[in-house]
């Protein structure tokens, strides 16, 4: 299934409207396969919808986040980064010193979710975490 079709069916299934604006923004994000900021998405989606407004981009992303289609993370740059999640879940380790970003799979956070459910009955949505700290290299005194 292509980006557009998946976006359209998912929105409709959730009782939301599949507008050209949303389709343009979300399929741009899904298609890129990487983190993108709201303004990057605006620039990209404007190629299809020239009148598109940044507020529509934000509202689209907020709605898609509710549906857990996209994840967001503050990676330490000024702007929030968004990413298409679909079924997959992953997280990031960010070094406070050298800025290096490492991607980690969901395993570690998944076991946290299990522990929280067993102890608090809380069903945690650990979709896309940014975890700050010091990387292996910088601990050794390296500059990363």
Residue 34 CA: distances (Å) to CA of 31, 76, 108, 123: 8, 16, 21, 27
144 touches which of DNA, Zn ion, a second copy, none (CB within 5 to 8 A by kind)? Zn ion
CB of 75 to DNA, least distance (A): 11
| Per CB under 7 A, 48 contacts DNA | no
Per residue, what are the HEC states of 64-96?
HHHCCCEEEECCCCCCCEEEECCCCCEEEEEEC
| Per CB under 8 A, 79 contacts a second copy | no
Nearer to DNA, 31 or 59 (CB): 59
* Binds DNA (CB under 7 A): choice among 9, 34, 55, 110: 55
110 touches which of Zn ion, DNA, a second copy, none (CB within 5 to 8 A by kind)? none
The 3-state DSSP class for residue 101 equals strand
């Amino acid at each position: 299934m292509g980006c557009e079709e998946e976006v359209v069916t998912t929105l409709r299934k959730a009782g939301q409207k599949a507008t050209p604006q949303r389709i343009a923004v979300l399929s741009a994000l899904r298609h890129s396969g990487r983190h993108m900021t709201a303004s990057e998405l605006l620039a990209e989606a404007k190629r299809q919808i020239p009148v598109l407004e940044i507020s529509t981009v934000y509202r689209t992303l907020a709605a898609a986040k509710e549906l857990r289609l996209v994840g967001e993370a503050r990676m330490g740059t000024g702007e929030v980064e968004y990413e298409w999640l679909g079924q997959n879940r992953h997280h990031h380790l960010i070094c406070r010193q050298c800025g290096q970003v490492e991607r980690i799979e969901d395993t570690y956070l998944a076991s946290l979710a299990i522990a929280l459910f067993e102890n608090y009955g809380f069903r945690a949505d650990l979709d896309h975490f940014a975890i700050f700290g010091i990387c292996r290299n910088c601990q050794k005194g390296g500059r990363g």
